[in-house]
Amino acid sequence: MAVSDGDHITVMKDMGLVTTVFDERKLSGLRGHLAIGHTRYSTAGSSDWINAQPVFRGVGQAGFVLAHNGNLTNTAALAEAASMLPGLVSSDSDLVAELLGQAFPADDPERTRADHALDLEQALMAILPLVEGAFSFVLMDADRVIGVRDPNGFRPLCLGRLEATDTAPVGWVLASESPALDVIGATFIRELEPGEMVIIDGTEVRSERPFAAERLDPKLCIFEFVYFARPDTTLYGNEVHGARRRMGQLLATQRPVEADMVMGVPDSGVPAAEGYALAAGIPYGQGLVKNRYIGRTFIAPTQAERALGVRRKLNPLRENISGKRVVVVDDSIVRGTTTRAMVTMLRESGATEVHLRISSPPFRWPCFYGIDTPDRSELLAAIKTPDEIAEYLKVDSIEYLTLDHLVEAIDAPGAGFCDACLTGNYPVPVPVTIELADPSPVPAAASDRA
Ligand code: SF4
């Protein structure tokens, strides 16, 4: 977290969950009327303290701080163009902070506070056009908070308002996901547009457009709808939970199967399972209980931790499962490690048949836009056919939602999406050469756009 009292910026950050890093004593030392915060999910740049955010640079009147959701695709080229020595910056976010710092006017004791007012905004207008990839930034100097969404809008960013009270004026809030506004009593105003920069200055909000018009091409990450976003988040004007239910409903039409119970894999598979059960006319039941104190295994950094993680994370409800033919709905399969362990658990609990239904198309290409995915060689759907996947996972049948059905379920006509991890169509050039011709023998009808 970084807080400004108008004169100084205080940054407090550490490794770990928010609740372990901050306590009442530490929070009481953070005084000010402006703040930004970020829980970093490491992709580019290692998971180290040095890369914890917000990133601070001590330039201008009181310095500035930056937090970044996403992943740049031209980090190396930008560093080279700026003649930076290797090791000067520790991540793509750190690089942007460094470039912004270099774009500030040279220190000059003659410059007044008023002269400094637009330093950060002007540095952003100069540097942002050079930056490529996925980035939703929030920044702060002593007097203002700024939000920026990249020209493709890969990652979400929304604006909310806190109404004035007897003791405080109107307040403005930026957040990746709209539920963050709800918990502090702010009203959702709108999503920032791709390529928009919003400057919150005192009680006012202004918009700027730092990017050339030809770069504007909305490509919101389709996986935000499938897995990443909280279900109560609003994206493209729709609540994610409703989209997930519709994914399940459409999935039920694709490969009907006789079964006794439909169950979802907690948490993100549950809304799709409810939709599936409704459309298929099969009773919905709970088959797995999630330990709420364990994080997402997808994010666990090693294979061993992920395999162990599923047993710690999910526990079967044996009485509900025993003797039943179950349809299990999950949102996606990446490596298959957790799915395989989960299926074994269901069989050990007495399930007589396990039919796996996935509420997204096969995940077959790595993401370079801010989601930590393995190499192609580790993506199950990139190296095996659906029949081989069913055999590997020990399920009686498997079916993936088609891309057409996924887009239909999201129900945002005319909206643009990134679906590169499903199709290999990368909307922004990626920094490595990967085999884009599909080597996996997955039949087109099973996964691809018609
Ligand atoms: S590649 Fe996939 S996960 Fe990455 S931004 Fe695109 S849709 Fe999202």
pLDDT, average across residues 213-239:
96
Count Cβ atoms within 10 A of the Cβ of residue 450 and give its class: 0-12 exposed, 13-18 middle, 19 or more buried.
Answer: exposed
Residue 252 has pLDDT above 90, yes or no: yes
Question: E strands along 340-445, which residues?
Answer: 353-358, 397-400, 417-418
pLDDT band for 206, please (50, 70, 90 cuts). very high
Q: Is the minimum distance from the CB of 403 to ligand 1 under 6 angstroms?
A: no
**Using an 8 Å Cβ cutoff, are 68 and 92 in contact?**
yes
pLDDT digits (tens, 9 = 90+) for 93-135: 889 999 999 999 988 888 888 888 899 999 999 999 999 999 9
* Atom of ligand 1 minimally distant from the CA of 422: 2
* Atom of ligand 1 minimally distant from the CA of 368: 4
pLDDT band for 41, please (50, 70, 90 cuts). confident
Residue 219 has pLDDT above 90, yes or no: yes
DSSP string covering 208-227 = E--S-GGG----EETHIIII
Q: CATH classification of 2-157+192-218 is 3.60.20.10, yes or no?
A: yes
- Hey, how many other C-beta atoms are within 10 angstroms of the C-beta on 7? 11
* Atom of ligand 1 minimally distant from the CA of 373: 3
Q: Is the minimum distance from the CB of 229 to ligand 1 under 6 angstroms?
A: no
Q: Ligand 1: which of 369, 403, 426, 449 to mutate, most ligand atoms within 8 Å of CB?
A: 369
Same topology, domains 2-157+192-218 and 234-415? Answer is no
pLDDT digits (tens, 9 = 90+) for 165-177: 998 889 999 999 9
pLDDT band for 91, please (50, 70, 90 cuts). confident
Q: Is the minimum distance from the CB of 97 to ligand 1 under 6 angstroms?
A: no
pLDDT attached to residue 302? 62
Q: Is the minimum distance from the CB of 225 to ligand 1 under 6 angstroms?
A: no
Residue at 311: amino acid letter: R
Q: Please report how the helices 240-252 and 403-410 are oriented relative to each other, as an axis angle in degrees rounded to 10.
A: 140
- The domain segmentation of the chain, as residue ranges, is 2-157+192-218, 234-415
Question: Which token pair is 183?
Answer: 């918990």
439 versus 433: the higher-pLDDT residue is 433
pLDDT attached to residue 295? 53
Q: Considering the entire predicted model, what is its pTM?
A: 0.91
* Percentage of residues of the chain with pLDDT beyond 70: 91
pLDDT attached to residue 303? 61
pLDDT attached to residue 309? 67
| 3-state class (DSSP) for residue 367 | coil
Length of the chain: 450
d(CA 415, CA 411): 9
Q: Is the minimum distance from the CB of 331 to ligand 1 under 6 angstroms?
A: no
CATH topology of domain 234-415: Rossmann fold (3.40.50)
Q: Is the minimum distance from the CB of 265 to ligand 1 under 6 angstroms?
A: no
